[in-house]
Chain A
Amino acid sequence: MACIGASGELTDSARRILAALDPPATPDQVAAHVELPLYRVRSGLREMAEAGLIEINDSGAYSITALGRSLLKPAA
């Protein structure tokens, strides 16, 4: 998975995308914030949603789940 590396850690781009979802944001807003191409943001959001790290609300904005927040925290 492009969003989670072989060691189980978030990739750098996934971490940037995830961090941009607080407060919840649309793919366009995330792309503008993290300065990644929109296709990469859409692809990354889809993969993170499939992994349960984020969820989409009725207005099309994505927010971080508890699992996503736990991965965003720096390692102790």
Chain B
Amino acid sequence: MPNHETPAPAPAHPATPSDQPASLPRLGMPAPHFEAVTTHGKVRLEDFQGTWLVLFSHPADFTPVCTTEFMAFAAVAPELRKRNVELLGLSIDSPTSHIAWVLNIKEKFGVDIPFPIIADLNKEVATLYGMISPGESKTETSRCVFVIDPNGIVRAMIYYPLTTGRNTDEIIRLIDALQTTDKHKVATPANWKPGEKVIVPPPATMEEVEARLKAGFECKDWYICKKSV
């Protein structure tokens, strides 16, 4: 089996239209329902209702980039738990493979993997979430991240190629931004981090423009105002 984490030239046989997934989740829409076998037993999407969920896929067990990613996700799991976020991994591997890999990571690196991993052998969940990018691989899931809110709504999606490990600090930053947006009804600027000023949503009427100019926000102009939260 080829190691698809190795950089490779563009595929000789590009994806055809029939390779395209039937559907993809959309931001702001309910996340597709699933019931799946995991390393922590059978779980359904609704089991996570009331908590944020980071559903992420990796190409395959016992591969180097994935192993570094899993240890990185394990390292941030406590920070995510503080934010009421659960992690749920996925790949097209068997439960036995997942368990063996988790035990191997513990043995070789001393790292416990505290979150469940979906054994998606029939590609059911991977297909529902559009995790397979046939142009990269038809047998492995890409490095996808779906942030699903406590109401089961897809709030963010990240897709990375097989060759590039994800940045878990960015995922925490994304969660912080989404939760800040929900709590304060604001937006967050580029490279925002908790503690920094946030963006007041732009006004839609002249009345709102006049009101905000008197509100004491830090404004460069009427359409770009920041405030502390």
Contact = CB atoms under 8 A, between A and B. Distances in A.
B50 A38 contact: yes
Interface stretch (A42-50, A52-60, A62-70): A42-50
Interface stretch (B40-48, B159-167, B183-191, B202-210): B40-48
B42 A38 contact: no
28 contacts: A1-B41, A2-B40, A2-B41, A2-B42, A3-B41, A37-B51, A37-B86, A38-B48, A38-B50, A38-B51, A39-B43, A39-B47, A39-B48, A39-B51, A39-B86, A40-B41, A40-B47, A42-B46, A42-B47, A43-B40, A43-B41, A43-B43, A43-B44, A43-B47, A44-B41, A46-B44, A46-B47, A47-B41
Contacts of B46: 42
DSSP class of B's interface residues: helix, strand, loop or mixed?
Answer: mixed
Interface residues of B, number: 11
Interface of B: 40-44, 46-48, 50-51, 86
Nearest to A3: B41
Contacts, number: 32
B137 to A, nearest CB: 29
A38 B86 CA distance: 10
A3 B43 CA distance: 12
A5 B128 CA distance: 31
Contacts of A40: 40-41, 47
Given A37-B86, A39-B86, A47 B51 contact: no
Nearest to A50: B42
A39 B150 CA distance: 12
Interface in A1-39: 1-3, 37-39
